[in-house]
Amino acid sequence: MDVEQARSHFPALASGFVFADNAGGSQAARGVVDRISDYLLNTNVQLGADYSVSVQSTTRVLADGPRAAAALFNARSPDEIVFGSSSTLNLENLARGLEPGIQAGDEFIITGEHEANTGPWKKLAARRGAVVHVWRPRATVPGNPYSVKLQLADLLPLVSARTRIVAITACSNILGSIVPVKEVVAAVRAEAAAKGAPKVEVSVDCVAYAPHRLIDVQDWDVDFAVFAFYKVYGPHISGLYVRASVLEHSVTPIVHHFLQVDKIAYKLQPGGPGYEIVYGSTGVLPYLLSLTPANSLQASFAAIAAHEQTLLAPLIAFLTDPVQRARGVRVVGEETVNLERVPTVSFVVVGERAIRSPDVVAFFDKKGGIGIRYGHFYAYTLVDELLPKISIDDGVVRISLVHYNTVEEVQKIIDILKEALQ
């Protein structure tokens, strides 16, 4: 992958500012912005009319948008795609659509990760009398109790004959670790079948995964998947995949009663999303395809993963160096560099010379030129349960990189970290 060619798609990068808060929101590719502008300037009319401009507008929003998103999910059909302003809203609407089919005593399994794929299920369970179980990570590295990871062996005992919804993450936005979704889903389905669960539907949060790896809902055998385009070089909108059979048999429409939407995902899209934003999201796919000569998503994401390892290696090496460990630096998540980890790196500084996470970030802000953040990043439960206890108000320091970052930018981050930790 030609990193400089990739960077040329993002005018904001020319300023020299180091964007290292990409898990909170990436920069938008120029082609995305051009499409938003083109829509508003040339086809900004209501959908569904017979005049030519409306026909063009309708095609852009109701055909081009879902088709491009379906390619990013590897969905079977554009009719399985829902657009919403955020992943949280999409999953809240999904929970509302599933609500009539949820019975008292049904069981949900969730992770304590990003609240978008946690909160809607907890609230649905409270409304319908369902029971919630939490699949929690556990420590994996001796000497670092913050280096935690989800383990399949801890998930399977939570599955029972009453399991109805399993909501997991594909990648942690705190830990940076990738969950082997296909393996996990296959194991859950086998366990549920063995225990006699009549109907299990699986929801996967790909918000922290989508910028780094290729989604494949068909290969994974999942029922729902969600990601945010604004974290994948696009506009502020979210895409939700819902399996066609689930749409037909499990989901009750939440749109106007007179709309004929029984077998398409529009039944979960009340009021419709911003037209120009949906069309803008179609710019993400050609950008990703442009990253390698192969012009394939598989090749592009393989190149992204390879480059991201070069970004991750020096940062992890610095944070886990014996000097920094003695200083009290502890990586929150995996300490190793491998393809099962993305360059979203969190850490805390503990011990006799502890430094609060807000103070580390404030040091960067004072220096200027680099954007990082601290907090729980909507993975409230995960951060709140980290042991030894850290303040939920302080949270962790998070440095989040993507493929348009450079090794030189990582070195700038490390140089300031050295000063901050003195």
Contact residues for 366 (Cβ-Cβ < 8 A; gap 6+): none
Task: Decide if pLDDT at 249 tops 90.
Answer: yes
Domains of the chain: 3-29+294-420 (3.90.1150.10), 41-287 (3.40.640.10)
Three-class SS state of 93: helix
By C-alpha distance, which of 120, 143, 139 is closest to 130?
Answer: 120
pLDDT band at 99 (very low <50, low <70, confident <90, very high): very high
Contact residues for 46 (Cβ-Cβ < 8 A; gap 6+): 54, 57
Query: What is the pLDDT averaged over residues 360-373?
Result: 98
Amino acid 264: pLDDT: 86
Task: Decide if pLDDT at 181 tops 90.
Answer: yes
Query: What is the pLDDT averaged over residues 192-219?
Result: 98
Task: Decide if pLDDT at 205 tops 90.
Answer: yes
Between 261 and 95, the higher pLDDT residue: 95
Task: Decide if pLDDT at 260 tops 90.
Answer: no
pTM greater than 0.75: yes
Contact residues for 237 (Cβ-Cβ < 8 A; gap 6+): 83, 84, 85, 228, 229, 230, 273, 274, 277, 278, 280, 281
pLDDT band at 259 (very low <50, low <70, confident <90, very high): confident
Give 230-270 as a DSSP string: GGTTS-S-EEEEE-HHHHHHTPPP-S-TT---TTSGGGG-T
Task: Decide if pLDDT at 378 tops 90.
Answer: yes
Task: Decide if pLDDT at 110 tops 90.
Answer: yes
Q: What are the pLDDT digits (tens) for 379-406?
A: 999 999 999 999 999 999 999 999 999 9
Taking the CB of residue 280, how many other CB atoms lie within 10 A of it? 29
pLDDT band at 272 (very low <50, low <70, confident <90, very high): confident
Do 239 and 66 touch, CB atoms closer than 8 A?
Answer: no
Q: Tell me how far apart the alpha carbons of residues 70 and 76 are, in angstroms, rounded to a whole number.
A: 7
Amino acid 262: pLDDT: 80
Amino acid 398: pLDDT: 98
pLDDT above 90: percentage of residues in the chain:
97
Pull the structure tokens for residue 26: 């990436």
Task: Decide if pLDDT at 271 tops 90.
Answer: no
Do 263 and 248 touch, CB atoms closer than 8 A?
Answer: yes
Query: What is the pLDDT averaged over residues 364-381?
Result: 98
Query: What is the pLDDT averaged over residues 97-112?
Result: 97
Amino acid 215: pLDDT: 98
Pull the structure tokens for residue 398: 């998070």
pLDDT band at 60 (very low <50, low <70, confident <90, very high): very high
Q: Tell me how far apart the alpha carbons of residues 210 and 216 are, in angstroms, rounded to a whole number.
A: 10
Query: What is the pLDDT averaged over residues 135-156?
Result: 96
Q: What are the pLDDT digits (tens) for 126-142?
A: 999 999 999 999 999 99
pLDDT band at 263 (very low <50, low <70, confident <90, very high): confident
Contact residues for 347 (Cβ-Cβ < 8 A; gap 6+): 319, 329, 330, 331, 332, 396, 397
Query: What is the pLDDT averaged over residues 29-49?
Result: 98
Do 385 and 359 touch, CB atoms closer than 8 A?
Answer: no
Tell me the C-alpha to C-alpha distance, in Å, between residue 44 and each of 61, 107, 234. Answer: 11, 45, 19
Q: Tell me how far apart the alpha carbons of residues 18 and 34 are, in angstroms, rounded to a whole number.
A: 23
